[in-house]
Amino acid sequence: MAVSQAAHAERPDRRRPATDSAGRSAGRSAGRPAGRAAGHRDPATEAVHEPAHSSVPSPFLDPAAMRVRYRREGLHEQGLAPDPVRQFARWFAEAAESGIHEPNAMILATADASGRPTARTVLLKGFDERGLVFFTNYRSRKGRDIDANPAVSLVFPWHAIARQVIVQGRAERTGRDETAAYFRTRPHGSQLGAWASEQSEVVASREELDRMYAELARRYPEGEDVPAPPHWGGYRVVPEEVEFWQGRENRLHDRLRYTRRPGGGDPTAWRIERLSP
Ligand SMILES: Cc1cc2nc3c(=O)[nH]c(=O)nc-3n(C[C@H](O)[C@H](O)[C@H](O)COP(=O)(O)O)c2cc1C
């Protein structure tokens, strides 16, 4: 949102007509023209959702016309936890309390050996001072990427509360004990699914997938112990940088970044810097 608005403000789209359908000037609509109706206020973030006035005749919903003015209180250096894990723990709890759907859903970006990136959603299943853990198929595309290049990034996109957390770090496999302990907590159907799916490979049809699952369900009926597949397990993302982003008014967002000081180990060894929004 911020990016599209900034781009719009700095490089006016020449394809846009000078006025929108309601006769307002496209240039003025980036601000708040006098007399324009205020948008609705979101009590969770105190953000104001401005009414979308699209000036582009298009059969699609125009994302450039969507604007949210963030009003939420700021993020200050003095209020920050000394290390990003404790800061993350606070924000994660607040995200959960806010009622966000799946606050543990995070975007994982990986890059292959040639640097070609891909991103997808995974679920955070644990975190502590060692890092953030998710589970997946080691033979999947992300697994192969990480084998070749363990540098990854995570994004928690908590849009509903005008926050995001970005982690940059290195992914390492969790121990088999940790994987087995987590696998035992999964519902029986998900355990079978981990065996049935050759994640990221082409599958001939939905029927083929269902057939593999049914075969496994016959072999391991409900109640029977299902071992964790050897090609399935956890990754721990060991953070090197963690940025906390808080949406503020006039796009002057707060960005506070923790960077691990060389030497590692000591949880207090983090440098904190403010970044320009
Ligand atoms: C909300 C949500 C949560 C997901 N959680 C996981 C997860 O924890 N682990 C996983 O392997 N895939 C998860 N997926 C599926 C992945 O996004 C992705 O499709 C899959 O891991 C294959 O990715 P890859 O081919 O890039 O390796 C999730 C998808 C969504 C939308």
**Six-digit token string for 11:** 């490089």
Which CATH number does the domain 77-274 belong to among 3.40.50.300, 2.30.110.10, 1.10.8.60, 3.40.50.10190?
Answer: 2.30.110.10
pTM for the full model?
A: 0.82
Q: What is the pLDDT of residue 3?
A: 34
- Taking the CA atoms of residue 10, residue 12, residue 18 and residue 19 in that order, the dihedral angle to the nearest 10 degrees is -70
Question: Which residue blocks in 14-161 are alpha helix, DSSP H?
Answer: 84-97, 141-148
Number of CB atoms found within 10 A of residue 29's CB = 21
Give helix 188-196 / helix 206-219 axis angle, nearest 10°.
120
Q: What is the pLDDT of residue 19?
A: 39
How far, in Å, from the CA of 81 to the mean position of ligand 1? 30
Region of residue 211 (left: phi > 0; alpha: psi -120 to 50; beta: else): alpha
Could you tell me the residue ranges of all domains in the chain?
2-69, 77-274
Q: What is the pLDDT of residue 277?
A: 97
Q: What is the pLDDT of residue 31?
A: 38
Q: What is the pLDDT of residue 32?
A: 40
Residue type, 275: L
Known catalytic membership, residue 251: yes
Smallest CA separation from ligand 1 atom 30, residue: 121
**Six-digit token string for 172:** 């390492």
CB 76 within 8 A of CB 244: no
Residues in contact with ligand 1 by the CB-under-6-Å rule are 102, 105, 118, 120-123, 134-136, 140-142, 199-200
Check 28, 251, 257, 261 and give the catalytic one: 251
Residues 6+ away with beta carbon under 8 Å from 12? 26, 27
How far, in Å, from the CA of 100 to the mean position of ligand 1? 19
Is 87 known to sit in a ligand binding site? no
CB 267 within 8 A of CB 83: yes
Q: What is the pLDDT of residue 276?
A: 97
CA atoms within 13 A on the CB side of 68: 20
Q: pLDDT 10s per residue in the chain (277 long)?
A: 333 333 333 333 434 433 333 333 333 333 343 434 456 777 666 777 776 665 656 778 888 888 877 766 799 999 999 999 999 999 999 999 999 999 999 999 999 999 999 999 999 999 999 999 999 999 999 999 999 999 999 999 999 999 999 999 999 999 999 999 999 999 999 999 999 999 999 999 999 999 999 999 999 999 999 999 999 999 999 999 999 999 999 999 999 999 998 875 675 689 999 999 9
Residues 6+ away with beta carbon under 8 Å from 256? 75, 77, 80, 243, 244, 272, 273, 274, 275
Q: What is the pLDDT of residue 94?
A: 96
Contacts 24+ apart (CB under 8 A), 117-122: 118/142, 118/145
Q: Quote the CA–CA distance of 242 and 246 in Å, as a whole number.
A: 13
